[in-house]
Copies of this chain bind each other. A is one copy, B any other.
């Protein structure tokens, strides 16, 4: 059977499964998620044995230590997957909620009822644990999922999906609810993106190249999660101690993630008071500073920033720093160089805080808090499936609710239209 037919059959199975999934009770889904968690823990030895094959192949292929680390199903990673499934089971079920109901002049009651999206395809890079994390979230929201992970992790992903499928079916989850594309053929992604009759949403997670490829080749709507060039603006009225803590947290607590701080903007009025002190703290933490001329005057050891630095997502212990004239100057810089991801202001001024919240275009805009809070768990959504930097459907961290949509429901007593 051809690759195209294989994928088409997966799509058909997923669509069928999605119809049954949409009707499952919350209890069935939650019991299944908890059983899956136990199933993964019980299959620990078996999963690690299969994982060994992926790790040996990675060794042979000379993959980096970081890549191999991401591939490894350690005891901690397996426990993490199980814990994640239990946490999703504990979240409220979004499906079936009526988000409001209103009465029309003719007596019709009109409401919106939350329903699953249907079938979701997730295209991601090497971590095999995404199989369980994304599978659990999609299942809870009543969706079927087709997973296409990195080829380096294929055996591990298939083994995880086999456990979820076996345990899930025993708990009443339909066949086809969680499927992994079982080929390393690179053409599979292109074929998958043509199945707009069987797949409702594609979520690519990985580098910019992958996301662009999916966007340009998909007939199915795509949720994009592009890079995070996140700013902190220290306003003239900022509490400088607070500002320093927020800058340090944004830059050094976990520099390799998309909500880490990349560019610091400082109001000229506090440049003298703030830059030398934050410069010392950053240097002590091993952060390289790339500054504008005014920053260079105030932080010894800073190197001059080039034009590219204002658009860089370093994901590393490097920080671009620029002095600006005003709140408007900061917002202009953010509009020109931001990536619609996460933007923060540190200020003591009411009007500045309100204007920043109103006028800055980003999936998450913060006042007096670290950029690191732009995360589904931190914002209170529970687990997230990604952070959207495009505006259609969802903008920002996507939790369970973002994996659903609403239909209109109407209750009448025989009304007809005049």
Q: Which of B22, B245, B365 contacts A414 (CB 8 A)?
A: B245
The CA of A110 and the CA of B369, in the complex, are separated in Å by 11
A118: chain B residues within 8 A (beta carbon): 391
Nearest B-chain residue to A253, judged by Cβ = B417
A215: chain B residues within 8 A (beta carbon): 196, 219
A253: chain B residues within 8 A (beta carbon): 416-417
Q: Are B416 and A246 in contact (CB under 8 A)?
A: yes
**A 193-230 binary contact with B (CB < 8 Å = 1; else 0):** 00010001100000000000001100101100000000
Whether A48 sits at the interface, judged by CB under 8 Å, is no
Whether A90 sits at the interface, judged by CB under 8 Å, is no
Whether A349 sits at the interface, judged by CB under 8 Å, is no
Q: Name, among A248, A359, A405, A417, the residue most crowded by chain B CB atoms within 10 Å (CB to CB).
A: A417
The CA of A414 and the CA of B369, in the complex, are separated in Å by 5
Nearest B-chain residue to A247, judged by Cβ = B416
Whether A83 sits at the interface, judged by CB under 8 Å, is no
For the side of the interface on A, what is the size category? 35 or more
The interface of chain A, by Cβ under 8 A from chain B, is: 19, 22-23, 96, 102, 104, 108, 110, 113, 115, 117-118, 196, 200-201, 215-216, 219, 221-222, 239, 242, 245-246, 248-249, 253, 335, 353, 357-359, 361-370, 372-374, 378-380, 390-397, 405-417
Within the oligomer, what is the number of copies of this chain? 2
Q: Which of B219, B357, B416, B417 contacts A216 (CB 8 A)?
A: B219
Q: Are B407 and A358 in contact (CB under 8 A)?
A: no
Q: Are B408 and A369 in contact (CB under 8 A)?
A: no
A246: chain B residues within 8 A (beta carbon): 414, 416
A104: chain B residues within 8 A (beta carbon): 378-380
A-B contact pairs, 5 of them (CB 8 A): A110-B379, A110-B380, A253-B416, A363-B407, A369-B415
